[in-house]
Chains A and B, each alone.
Chain A
């Protein structure tokens, strides 16, 4: 039972890292970026290429995946996204779906349409036993890394100068600019960082959820669910929501497999019925 609980936590953590960037762009910058998954996919593919073609160790690939996706994110932000902040949500949807299409086809062309997988080093495989409870080493690894990430993010947002600049820029762009905050720069960095997180999530998640060119579309739903259920006003919301969804999904499938596919959707509907702003929304 505890094993299942732990699997759920690991799955939830993974969802959080994948969705954290979206929570930032959507929640903080109020930008509907459906192409978020494309950056996660880029991170995943970067890892696969680096490991399988250049033989880099898995651990070295993770920061590289982050950097690769972050660089892509930065370039995309400077060249394209920048012009979209002031547009309507529907325009943003159209634009980012277009990007998703391009990313899918380009990946397909470059890497082929089959599933890719990451070969874990031996020390991350298998499981350790705590008494009766077996825990997958890789899942433990994910929980640790993602947990650290979540803490770090919270710290950056709440305690650093950059964090307060970002929050100021989000709350009122014009006033922030008037106070001498380089809003454009802050947004660019945030966007790049969010994309980088997605890339890291993609690299970590390839092992568990798989990786192929349709990744951005397949997982878009999950990202959106995490962000809506969590509420878009903070990062704690999505984190708790991701954990909740991960645990509920895994436990539910274990206990009542007949209802397997319904659980996550039903939960989302239930939460949104009761709290339309998401579970952990703070009043604005």
Chain B
């Protein structure tokens, strides 16, 4: 046989051994990267959500390094323009082509809804970093949330109002899913505490002028007005509230933190001073973790982090810690198991993932808009500790 010739044999052995050496190296190189698909609205009306989360996620990786449990983390950022069918297609492509081990992001509820079935089919953990409708975590056993739910932050303000002498309140919410959630949560809680909701107004999402709705409020003269509008609309609302003299006529303005979002509260000017809100995060949260976070974020993104950013930061933390627990294994079921019950101190304060609902349990703070070093901040003055999502807790 020709193979018996010394030269060929040596060549073959060399080749073989090289292959033997190379093959595992190749396999290892492949298995050593863990990909995270971060799908966010980076353009369109919800672009600021995407920017905040992207900046926070990148900051987390820059600070903690891109290696966890011997694996290199690769972040793939995609823009879904806030359109569910695009989100779904991108998620599917990330799963099929890029073989991502995590899907993360999701700026709005329908975006998460559209992808949830894919997470179940492919057994991939889906980390919700922003969307806030309660039922998202029920759509798939692979959904884990690090943002918040709207009822979770709403009941606090209802409790606070009842305790502080609000008997008759009125609600004013944006006319879509989250707004209606907030309206219901507030009403139920306040009524249970002995208060009364004397009027409910819903405003269209595409609504440039609040004046007719505020006039209704002025006619009703409630003790307090509870407001939920998506974060961008907050500043116009606030101004028109003051312009109409409602602040002076004895109507107290109470809201969820979306209205005095850290992203915009400073630019609202003095009209925002004194507004009482409840939310799970404020850039003024007094803790060492938060100070470091805010400072680093400012340096990296040249803006103040808001609650979206902290959702992104904690989402990355959750992914890193889960990978540590599984020793780098990327089996979806094991990862979700690892995430269940995990607890840590976030910039927003102590938080944990409920083992049963996979939803976040966190402190909700009552805050007041005040001037700190010449800038407006939501300053926390009271805390409801370890609040779970009330909708699922009631089930």
Contacts and interface: CB of A to CB of B under 8 A. Distances in A.
Interface stretch (B237-245, B283-291, B361-369): B237-245
Interface centre among B211, B267, B268 (most CB of A within 10 A): B211
Contact of B212 (A108, A127, A218, A257): A257
Contacts of B264: 114-115, 117
B207 A261 contact: yes
Determine the interface band of chain A, counting residues with CB < 8 A from chain B: 35 or more
Contact of A209 (B208, B213, B263): B208
B303 A117 contact: no
Nearest to A48: B267
A44 B202 CA distance: 28
B269 interface: yes
A184 interface: no
Nearest to B239: A207
A276 interface: no
A260 B203 CA distance: 7
Contact of B267 (A117, A209, A249, A253): A117
A214 B244 CA distance: 27
A136 B243 contact: yes
Contacts of B190: none
Contacts of B208: 11, 208-210, 219, 222
A164 interface: no
A257 B201 contact: yes
18 contacts: A7-B209, A7-B215, A11-B208, A104-B43, A108-B47, A115-B234, A115-B264, A117-B236, A117-B268, A117-B269, A119-B267, A120-B269, A126-B242, A136-B243, A210-B232, A258-B202, A260-B175, A261-B175
A26 interface: no
Contacts of B267: 52, 115-117, 119
B235 A115 contact: yes
Contact of A117 (B48, B202, B235): B235
Interface string A89-132: 00000000000000011001000111111011000011100000
A73 interface: no
A119 B212 contact: no
Contacts, number: 118
Nearest to A222: B208
B45 interface: yes
B395 interface: no
A250 interface: yes
A113 B40 CA distance: 14
Interface string B240-256: 10111100000000000
B212 A126 contact: no
B248 to A, nearest CB: 9
A261 B206 contact: yes
B167 interface: no
Interface string A184-197: 00000000000000
Contacts of A138: 243
A210 B235 contact: yes
B232 A114 contact: yes
A11 B243 CA distance: 14
A251 interface: yes
B165 interface: no
B64 interface: no
Given A214-B44, A261-B204, A261-B207, A254 B232 contact: no
Interface in B257-272: 263-264, 267-269, 271
B51 interface: yes
A126 B244 CA distance: 7
Nearest to B50: A113
Contacts of B269: 117, 119-120
Contacts of B209: 7, 11, 208-209, 249-250
Nearest to A122: B270
Contact of A210 (B211, B233, B243): B233
B40 to A, nearest CB: 12
A127 B248 CA distance: 11
Contacts of A207: 236, 239
Contacts of A222: 208
A134 interface: yes
A203 to B, nearest CB: 15
Nearest 9 CB-CB pairings of A with B = A261-B204, A254-B212, A253-B212, A209-B208, A113-B47, A7-B211, A119-B269, A113-B48, A114-B263
Contacts of B244: 127, 134, 136
A230 B51 CA distance: 40
B245 A127 contact: yes
B204 A260 contact: yes
A261 B202 CA distance: 10
Interface string B196-232: 0000011111111101110110000000000000001
Given A113-B51, A114-B232, A11 B211 contact: yes
Given A119-B267, A127-B245, A134-B245, 19 more contacts: A4-B215, A104-B43, A112-B303, A114-B48, A117-B236, A127-B243, A207-B239, A208-B239, A209-B208, A210-B233, A218-B206, A219-B208, A222-B208, A250-B209, A251-B212, A252-B212, A260-B202, A261-B205, A261-B206
Nearest to A246: B209
A213 interface: yes
A125 B242 contact: yes
A160 interface: no
A67 B246 CA distance: 36
Nearest to B249: A134
Question: Which of A115, A116, A209, A213 counts the most chain B CB atoms within 10 A?
Answer: A115
A136 B263 CA distance: 27
A125 B215 contact: no
A177 to B, nearest CB: 41
A49 to B, nearest CB: 12
Contacts of B235: 115, 117, 210
A4 B211 contact: yes
Contacts of A250: 209, 211-212
Contacts of B268: 117
A69 to B, nearest CB: 20
Central interface residue in A105, A119, A257, by most chain B CB within 10 Å: A257
A77 interface: no
